[in-house]
Structure 1
């Protein structure tokens, strides 16, 4: 009898050892009765194309974390609207050569789960691919003005350009600027960054750095856990890996969600 073919998935990035994606995804597929394997691969950005192109027919998809999201977007032949807009993909269907950005929905849903819906003014701490997704999320939540705090303000051109496209007034600030003002704040700083900008009056702060187990913003304002963002974007990844559609619920989704939360 021929050997059984197990569908394979993985999360790629660098660093990658801290990622909780494997256990979150494995929990989801167990509930769905899918015999899928989910691992992790440490890659540099210039290794992404060669790695993905070398995967066999047993590979279903990849979750993508920093600093590989731009390279993942460039690999794909088909891109959803948010990948096209941000130039960043966190989800690949290898068999379809297609890319999605579920980070935006993950941010919006994480704020909503903490009781924060519409906002007028937002703020972003840090740059890079996740900051671009954060800007799209804040725009979806209704922000028409966003302060962006960058350690190197000259790297804020992409945020300003995306803001113009979204109809959001983006003000790029440097480390010595006055306190950031925003109803909702998204921090994309990695754990290694030894800085904490001054903030003025936020209703909530989403700290995307979940790996450290604590936040530099504790006591500043109510915290939206970065783990909540990870879970919400991962649920849409599960839908993509199963159906190819981030908005198409999987069977027994309430049970799938409960298992993912418990595994995180």
Structure 2
């Protein structure tokens, strides 16, 4: 546990970033931990990420990364955890002092972590969803990769990706094979007419996106919709599920759970190390975004 008297800086970076609830979540956590840490947000595009990281002084502890930076950051990291390495994306950067005699030549080490995968799994588990054989994912970007790894952890043997560009999303095929899953891809906008209904539909598309994908009433009634976006809410997909009484989980729950693991990283350097009185910290974070308990 870092010294409670030492001020540190952190921030969430991305573009767009104005809607982010990460500052509210992290500030609530550090207040609950009695840490005088400053957590801000900054509009940073892909081409500006290197410059932003280079200007971070010794007072900086770490960064949360969102769209479009989760893949861009990978070459800038000195090391990555197992999940980030597997998914090829990192949403967390931790600054650590290097051994002056070490390979980093005395400069700070930049460690990367992926807490999105565990955030998805934990958010689903919180509403009793712990397994799936067939998962349909919308989107072909960094969060889709994390959703695929999460699907594998849920036991999925088959995954369908609906993507804007088959060419730009081709990098996800080897990941599926590594995870031991059969994968199929198709362009967004093709109606779901399959007789095989997924247990879980995950949308990783940005908030406000037009999916163009039509799901049958049977799919909407049977499959849990997990929409990673949470602003604006409800999304068009969420409304479509609501129309037939389907089950819907907002991405706000994922945001809370992945942020809790980010706090672990920033506090101890280990996403597996629970925080002091962690239930109270989680309760404070949930309250900060008006989500006392996930509902589905």
Same fold (TM over 0.5): yes
Task: Give distance in 1, aligned partners of 2:63 and 2:130.
Answer: 30
Alpha-carbon RMSD = 1.5
Q: Deviations over 1:215-260 (max 9, x none)?
A: 2222423111110000010000000000111111110111100100
Task: Give distance in 1, aligned partners of 2:66 and 2:189.
Answer: 29
2:199 matches 1:199: no
Task: Give distance in 1, aligned partners of 2:233 and 2:204.
Answer: 15
| Aligned residue among 121, 125, 131 for 1:108 | 121
2:127 matches 1:139: no
Q: Deviations over 1:187-207 (max 9, x none)?
A: 011124222412352421110
Q: Is the 8 A contact 2:117 2:149 kept in 1?
A: yes
Q: CA deviation at 1:108?
A: 0.8
Give unpaired runs (5+ residues) of structure 2.
97-108, 290-296
Partner residue in 1 for 2:278: 253
Please list, as runs of the form range in 1=range in 2, the aligned pairs for 1:196-235 lying within 5 A after superposition.
Answer: 196-200=212-216, 201=219, 202-217=222-237, 218-220=239-241, 221-235=246-260
> Does the residue aligned with 1:155 lie in a helix, a strand or coil?
coil
Partner residue in 2 for 1:47: 48
2:265 matches 1:240: yes
Q: Is the 8 A contact 1:188 1:209 kept in 2?
A: yes
Label 1:178 to 1:257 Cα distance change in 2 as closer, same or farther (>3 A): same
Task: Give distance in 2, aligned partners of 1:78 and 1:195.
Answer: 35
Q: Is the 8 A contact 2:189 2:212 kept in 1?
A: no
> Does the residue aligned with 2:201 lie in a helix, a strand or coil?
strand
| Structure exhibiting the larger radius of gyration computed from Cα positions | 2
Name the stretch that deviates more: 153-162 or 5-14: 153-162
Q: Is the 8 A contact 1:109 1:232 kept in 2?
A: yes
Q: CA deviation at 1:5?
A: 5.2
Aligned length: 261
Give unpaired runs (5+ residues) of structure 1.
none
